Structure 1
C-alpha cells in the first residue's frame, strides 16, 4: 500500500508530478486512464489519489492516513468510492448500470464520488457504450479512474474523454528497495529485481522457497563448471533436473546462470556496482581475471541459445549436459 506521494519519486516520478500538480492546483480531470504493465502500481496509486481527494485533514497533497475517510478507503469500505473488476472474464453492462444507479444518488457524506474500473479493457462492447454515456455527462464532483494493461483495446471514444496517465516499468533498483523494505534479503532481492519489473510478481518470487533453492543450486552448478572438470553433467543429472522439473523452471535456471556471466562481464568492464550476485563479488572478481571478455560473451551466447532451444522439442537434460560441457571449454 502506497501511503504518500513522496514515495513515488523513485517509482513513478512522472505520474507523481502530474497527479500532485493537479491536486495542488485543484484542476482534477473528471476521468483518468491509468495505463501500464502489470505491477507498476496503478491500482495503489488510484487508491492514494482517492485518499487525497476525500481526506479530511490533508498534509499539502498527501492524505493524513488517519482520518475516517482514509481508513475506510484503505479497508475498502468507503461508501463513495467504488471499484469495478471483471465478473469472470469480462466487465458486463449490468455492472456499469449498477455503478450508474449508485452514482445517480447523492453522495452519502458529500457530493464527491470516485470510481475505479480495473482491467477496463475487459469491458464488453455494451458495457463500454454504457460507460461512454456516463463519461459524456460528468458530474463536477465525480472522478473516474480507468486502469488497463492494454491501452489499445479501449474504445477511442472513451480514450478521448480521459486524461492519459502512463506508468513506466519499475527500475530494478526501485523493486530491490521495495523487496528489502518488505524483509527480503539483499542477495535474493537483487536477483529477483532483475528478473521482473512487476513488483507484485517480484515479492511473490522472493518469498518462494523454490526460488531461493534454485539460486543456491545454480551457484553450485556454476562452481562445478568452473572448478570440477567433467563433473558438471553428473550434477545436472543428480541435482539440477530434479529441481528444475519443467520448462518454465528450466528457463528460470538458465536466466540465473546467465546473470552470473553477466556479472563477470560487469567486473571485467569495471562496473562492480552493477553486480547482481552481491554475495559473490570476490569469487566473481577472481574468475573475471581468468577469462577473456570474448570467452564470457561466448558463454552468454551459449546460454541464450539453450534458452531458445528449450522451446523446441529437445530433451532438457541432454540440452543442459551439452551446455555445461560447452561452458567448461575455454
Structure 2
C-alpha cells in the first residue's frame, strides 16, 4: 500500500479513479465518501492515497511525494490530522464517534484540513450511526470523511444520501493475476487463483494455505487415477477425497479445480496452450488429451457443472462424486 500512486489504482478501478482524480484537479474533493465493495477491490488503498493527496505539501500533479513527513506519518499511522476508526470488538460504538467529533473541534495540527476513515462502517451501532449522521449534517469545508464498507445495505439511507457513493467493482481475472504476481505468488498459482476468486486478499491467503495446496494435489491425483487406474477411484473418493472436503463449499472448490483441469485438456485439443493454467503439469494434460477426445472432454465439463448444481440442491456429496467419476470414466 505504501508508495502507491493514482496510476496503480487506475488499473484496478479505472472509473472511480478518474472521478476522484478529476475532483482533485478541480479542487472539488467531496466532504464525505462511501466506498462500497468486496475485499481486495482497493477501497482502503484509495482511502489512504486520497488522504495523502490531501495532506502532502510536495504533491507532483495529483500524486503525493511519498517522502515528506506528512506521507511518512500517514504510512506509519501517526498523522495527527488523519483519524482512523475501526470496530472495537464486534462493532463501532457511539463513544468512538463522540471522540472523533471532539478531535474535530480542534484546529488541524499541521493544516486546517482533517480526514477521517471509518473501516467496516456497516458495523456501527445504531447510536454510533445516528451520532455520525449529526456530524455529516454539519460538514466543514476542510473535513473529508471516508466510510469503507463491504455491505452498503447495512448503512443508514440518511448517511448514504450525505456521501458521494463509490461502488468498487470486482477485479477482472487479468488484473487479479497481475496483482498476485506483484505480491510474489508463482505464475501458475496466480493464474489459477485469479480464476477461482475476484478477492485479492482471499487469493493471497489461499496461496499460503496448506489445505488449499492439498486440495490441488488431490485434484491432480484424481485425474491421474481416472486415466490410469479407474478401478481404484471409488476407494480414493471414500478414503481421501471425501474426508478432505468436509463442507459443501470446499467440495465446490474441488469441483472448480476439476473444471479448470478439464478446460486445460480442452485447450490442448484446441491448440491454445497460452490459456493453460496447470502449466507445471503439461505432460499429464497432454497424456489426458490422448485419453479423452475433445467431444468426451466437453461432456465431462458438462457433467462437472451438473455435479456443482446437484451440490447446491443438497444432493448427498458422496453420491454426487461417485456419479460424477462414473460419468468421467465412460
Residue pair 2:227, 2:291 contacting (<8 A) in 1 also: no
- CA deviations 1:26-59 (Å, max 9, x no partner) are 2111111111122211012101111111113222
Q: Distance in 1 between matches of 2:175 and 2:285?
A: 25
How far did residue 283 of structure 1 move? 4.7
How far did residue 160 of structure 1 move? 2.0
Secondary structure in structure 2 of the residue aligned to 1:169: coil
Aligned to 1:21: 22
TM-score by length of 1: 0.90
Equivalent runs, 1:140-155 vs 2, <5 Å? 140-155=141-156
State the Cα RMSD in Å: 2.3
Q: Is residue 2:53 matched to residue 1:79?
A: no
Cα pair distance change 1:275/1:10, threshold 3 Å = farther
Moved more, 108-117 or 153-162: 153-162
- CA deviations 1:185-204 (Å, max 9, x no partner) are 11111111111111111101
Aligned to 1:108: 109
Residue pair 2:9, 2:42 contacting (<8 A) in 1 also: no
Q: Distance in 1 between matches of 2:248 and 2:163?
A: 42
Secondary structure in structure 1 of the residue aligned to 2:147: strand
Residue pair 1:184, 1:207 contacting (<8 A) in 2 also: no
Aligned to 1:235: 236
- CA deviations 1:237-291 (Å, max 9, x no partner) are 4443444344443232222111112333445556543332233456535644664
Aligned to 1:192: 193
Secondary structure in structure 2 of the residue aligned to 1:9: helix
Q: Is residue 2:192 matched to residue 1:170?
A: no
How far did residue 305 of structure 1 move? 3.3
Equivalent runs, 1:43-58 vs 2, <5 Å? 43-58=44-59
Q: Which runs of 5+ in 2 are unaligned?
A: none
Aligned to 2:304: 303
How far did residue 304 of structure 1 move? 3.0
Secondary structure in structure 1 of the residue aligned to 2:230: coil
Moved more, 172-181 or 283-292: 283-292
Residue pair 1:233, 1:325 contacting (<8 A) in 2 also: no
How far did residue 303 of structure 1 move? 2.1
Residue pair 1:232, 1:325 contacting (<8 A) in 2 also: no
TM-score by length of 2: 0.90
Moved more, 291-300 or 116-125: 291-300
Aligned to 1:258: 259
